[in-house]
């Protein structure tokens, strides 16, 4: 299991944007002791592997593994939201959603009960053996406008280079996508650009599913951040302000973690591994 370090109110801008979760992906260790654990479970065989990242270490995904984070009320933001990460794309899967981070709602054990709630993903620009570029897409599901999604109007990401990506939902201005801190032109693929209503609460967070890439510093904020607040500027400072606490070997924790891991693995066997994370079930 890999420690997911939680930092609150990391944004220094006067807007006081709040960080709900930040995963450094730096160390494999027992859960951190900051008191706000949103710990992820590595899934797949082999699981995601630690590699050199944009800042420190990162996790490398092979298209078949993932990180699973049980959703908690502390991660819920009904109105404004920002999802961002540093990524290094190494290839593509033949699927419209090569997922960076997905918040999903699952009403049962079958994959057909899973609905995308909010997330950011990549889409290959052509046949996977003939392209080295991809589109970026972001989406939300609200209680009034249902599923809404935007995608970049042209391929904006090349393989084999570090890129910062961000998806922002602002209750006032709608959905936005950013590459390296610059907003990019988008097209609406589902719903509308500025959907009304609250984002529905999820049950699961999946990182790196169906994607062949390295992910570093994924973060969720409960505010519509400005580019100056993205990790493009903050990451160097955060690298020195991390509050990682390795509490050392603990038999009871190990037993609990193992039990949770087996329980989650049983659920994910029927949900995640068979769940292609395709189009939302209400919009097929």
DSSP labels, 90-101? EE--SSS-EEEE
C-alpha angle 208-86-49 in degrees, rounded to nearest 5: 45
Higher-pLDDT residue of 111 and 262 is 111
Residue 28: DSSP 8-state: B
Nearest to 70 by CA among 93, 42, 38: 38
pLDDT digits (tens, 9 = 90+) for 216-263: 999 999 999 999 999 886 554 554 344 332 323 333 343 334 444 444
pLDDT at 238: 53
Whether residue 107 contacts residue 158, with contact meaning beta carbons closer than 8 Å, is answered with no
pLDDT at 109: 66
pLDDT at 231: 85
Strand ranges inside the chain, DSSP E = 19-22, 41-43, 49-52, 57-62, 66-70, 81-91, 98-106, 114-124, 133-142, 146-152, 157-158, 162-170, 174-179, 182-183, 186-190, 204-207, 212-221
pLDDT at 38: 80
pLDDT digits (tens, 9 = 90+) for 91-104: 999 999 999 999 99
d(CA 165, CA 182): 9
If you average pLDDT over residues 174-181, what whole number do you get? 98
pLDDT digits (tens, 9 = 90+) for 11-63: 444 334 588 888 888 866 423 323 457 888 888 999 999 999 999 899 999 99
d(CA 128, CA 91): 8
The domain defined by 19-283 folds into Jelly Rolls (2.60.120)
How is the chain split into domains, by residue range? Answer: 19-283
Nearest to 105 by CA among 203, 199, 220, 198: 203
d(CA 175, CA 181): 15
Residue 35: DSSP 8-state: S
- Residue 70: other Cβ atoms inside 10 A: 14
Nearest to 207 by CA among 17, 9, 8, 4: 4
Q: What is the pTM of this model?
A: 0.80
Task: Give the β-pairing of 57-62 and 49-52.
Answer: antiparallel
């Amino acid at each position: 299991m890999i420690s997911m370090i939680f930092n609150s109110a990391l944004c220094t801008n006067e807007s006081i944007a709040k960080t709900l979760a930040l995963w450094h992906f730096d160390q494999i260790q027992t859960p951190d002791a900051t008191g706000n654990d949103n710990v992820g479970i590595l899934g797949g065989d082999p699981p995601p592997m630690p590699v050199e990242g944009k800042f420190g270490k990162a996790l490398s995904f092979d298209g078949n593994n993932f990180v699973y984070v049980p959703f908690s009320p502390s991660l819920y933001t009904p109105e404004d939201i920002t999802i961002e990460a540093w990524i290094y794309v190494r290839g593509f899967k033949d699927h419209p959603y090569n997922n960076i981070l997905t918040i999903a709602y699952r009403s049962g054990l079958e994959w057909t009960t899973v609905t995308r709630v909010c997330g950011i993903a990549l889409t290959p620009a052509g046949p996977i053996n003939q392209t080295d570029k991809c589109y970026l897409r972001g989406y939300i599901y609200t209680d009034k406008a249902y599923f809404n999604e935007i995608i970049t109007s042209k391929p904006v990401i090349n393989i084999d280079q570090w890129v910062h990506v961000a998806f922002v939902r602002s209750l006032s201005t709608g959905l936005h996508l950013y590459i390296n801190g610059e907003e990019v032109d988008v097209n609406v693929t589902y719903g509308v650009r500025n959907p009304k209503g609250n984002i529905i609460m999820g049950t699961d967070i999946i990182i790196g599913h169906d994607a062949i890439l390295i992910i570093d510093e994924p973060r969720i904020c409960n505010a519509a951040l400005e580019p100056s607040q993205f990790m493009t500027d903050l990451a160097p400072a955060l690298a020195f302000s991390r509050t990682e606490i390795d509490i050392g070997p603990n038999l009871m924790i190990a037993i609990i973690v193992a039990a949770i891991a087996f329980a989650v693995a049983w659920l994910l066997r029927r949900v995640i591994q068979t769940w292609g994370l395709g189009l939302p079930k209400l919009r097929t």
